[in-house]
Amino acid sequence: MGYLDALILGISGFEWTVAATDFLANTSATHISRELPGLEEGDQVWIDGDDPNRLWVN
């Protein structure tokens, strides 16, 4: 679970959508691999229906 200081408007989970939104990220972040962004098979991510500042990741 992650709690953010702003409303979560959406989740990018596929390689092409993560790459397309990289400009929104903290540019000082270190990525292990640029070829493997996104969710893996079986991952679950959702925005909490009662608190739109909370992100759940399983």
In tens, the pLDDT along 11-49 reads 877 777 777 777 776 666 666 666 666 788 898 999 999
Q: Which domain holds residue 17?
A: 1-58
Q: How many domains does the chain have?
A: 1
Q: Is the dihedral of CA 58, 31, 38, 3 positive or negative?
A: positive
Predicted local confidence at residue 26, as pLDDT: 63
Strands 54-57, 45-47: pairing kind: antiparallel
The Cα-based distances of 21 to 7, 42, 44, 50 in angstroms read 17, 22, 20, 26
